[in-house]
Homo-oligomer: A and B are copies of this chain.
């Protein structure tokens, strides 16, 4: 095996083309039978086997700056840059990340996880180069899916003006997680697009023909203007997305999917919007039933949210599904276009809290804090599947802007049962002395924690507006309150409880359990809950100590 001799890019330099081609086959074989990593990301990585090898053969990494957009397709790059022994621990607790990361390797000059940042980052390095005169190249490798994000255009437009030495390698694999979106990728009109922004279009090259790839990259390397080369690749398999079908039967994702179909059947004003997460959201079923009322706008969260605002201003009731972490991309639009105009838009923030193996770039732990500061919002988090369904029904029937957050996890769901007061705080367990107040689905851990104890448990499905009468009553009935929430410690449930009690002149010492104020690394969701003190045992210990 040639692969056995490959540990660093320097090991590629001594191989001839035939050996490199053989190496590609070995690497494809290696990853095809590789039982680790994330399936979809592995496929993306296998699709760029030749490209990864060609880039490291042609460029002088780490001196030359290679920036992989999103970083999910960098498994081969990791293998080639000193991380082969660590691949099996990738995405596991303590192991390397599933994305590129500055902490991990000098061959990752800029980390990622979210989409469409690579050109801006490469532009930053190129501006740096112009100042300090380093002899090197800047290369951004970006898929046609990620190329739909608005950041790319902002960066290209400035790059074209500044005429800096950045090579953009467009990995045109004609697929994102779902079908790719946008006129540009569907029509392949990159030539005129580039031309209009001052980026030289270097043409297309077959991404699986290593020889032409190396030739084209050598040529591209020798130039120094802003330029884009379009590398046509195929992923080995259709990307395996986490479709709702494949989720655990009663997950929040499944309940969302079912409830949306049910709601839209009875109300033709309801429309669904997703930025490139049709299957991940469970809206694929909705699309089957209501194709004209489903809008997958591609990786373009800003457009998703303001387009929803336009639909709401026109009398529709848009439900926008966003992964919590990606909703950060549309924060201004949520404030300025939706909440400020009091439009009736419902945001379902999926993958809220700890997401597990995707790690620090993907945890949805900031949403509660950044939403709670916005006026006019209703912020809810269901404890279980029934609550999600009931709250969604409620939000559709009420006016105003709603954010409903739920984790990627299993949940209890009894489809017959429905609650006429889904937004009211609920007593889940009577008790004395100490009362635990939970917000959202983490209440399940609290239930488990307190089962054998004398403590009371109340679950609050709505953080904003917080039901102050219930809260005051509870505060007056117990010596000690402990709040539990699965999000960053500042600006969330605990802070709101303390503030409301202070406003009501109730002297208190409310203790809080929340995620720690750090970027949490990757690991299984259950492991991370434990590490963060949010599993049942840790919660019980905390309550005992408080």
Contact = CB atoms under 8 A, between A and B. Distances in A.
Contact of A508 (B157, B298, B333, B509): B509
Given A498-B495, A502-B512, A307 B181 contact: no
Contact of A154 (B149, B361, B508): B149
Nearest to A365: B373
A109 to B, nearest CB: 6
B186 A196 contact: no
B369 A491 contact: yes
A508 B511 contact: no
Contact of A376 (B333, B335, B519): B519
A303 B501 CA distance: 42
Given A123-B303, A295-B127, A310-B110, A192 B181 contact: no
Interface in A263-303: 271, 292-293, 295, 297-298, 300, 302-303
Given A122-B310, A151-B302, A499 B507 contact: no
Interface string A319-350: 00000001011011101110111000000000
A340 B328 CA distance: 14
Contacts of A336: 113-114, 117, 328, 361
A31 interface: no
A412 interface: no
Given A128-B310, A297-B154, A499 B508 contact: no
B157 A183 contact: yes
B195 A308 contact: no
Contacts of A151: 150, 302-303, 306, 333
Copies in the complex: 2
Contacts of A183: 156-161, 196-198
B366 A369 contact: no
B490 A130 contact: no
A361 B340 contact: yes
B298 A110 contact: no
Among A302, A341, A376: residue with most chain B CB under 10 A: A302
A360 interface: yes
Contact of A306 (B121, B195, B300, B498): B121
Contacts of A190: 196
Interface in A388-410: none
A366 B491 CA distance: 11
A81 interface: no
A102 B300 CA distance: 25
Contact of A375 (B122, B159, B510, B518): B518
A297 B124 CA distance: 11
A271 B191 CA distance: 33
A495 B499 contact: yes
A30 interface: no
B373 A309 contact: no
Interface string A511-543: 110000111000000000000000000000000
Nearest to A489: B499
A111 interface: yes
Interface in A349-402: 360-361, 366, 368-370, 372-376
B125 A314 contact: yes
Given A193-B196, A313-B102, A336-B328, A303 B158 contact: yes
Contact of A498 (B157, B331, B499): B499
Contacts of A191: 196
Contacts of A52: none
A413 interface: no
A323 B312 CA distance: 28
Contact of A120 (B192, B302, B361): B302
A512 B499 contact: yes
A438 interface: no
A3 to B, nearest CB: 31
Interface string A118-157: 0011111101111110000000000000001111111111
Contacts of A490: 372-373, 491, 495-496, 499
A292 B128 CA distance: 10
A325 to B, nearest CB: 8
A202 to B, nearest CB: 16
Contacts of A340: 111, 360-361, 519
Given A149-B150, A151-B306, A336-B361, 8 more contacts: A110-B310, A120-B307, A120-B310, A130-B292, A158-B298, A375-B517, A495-B495, A495-B498
The 5 closest A-B pairs by CB, nearest first: A124-B310, A150-B150, A491-B491, A369-B373, A160-B183
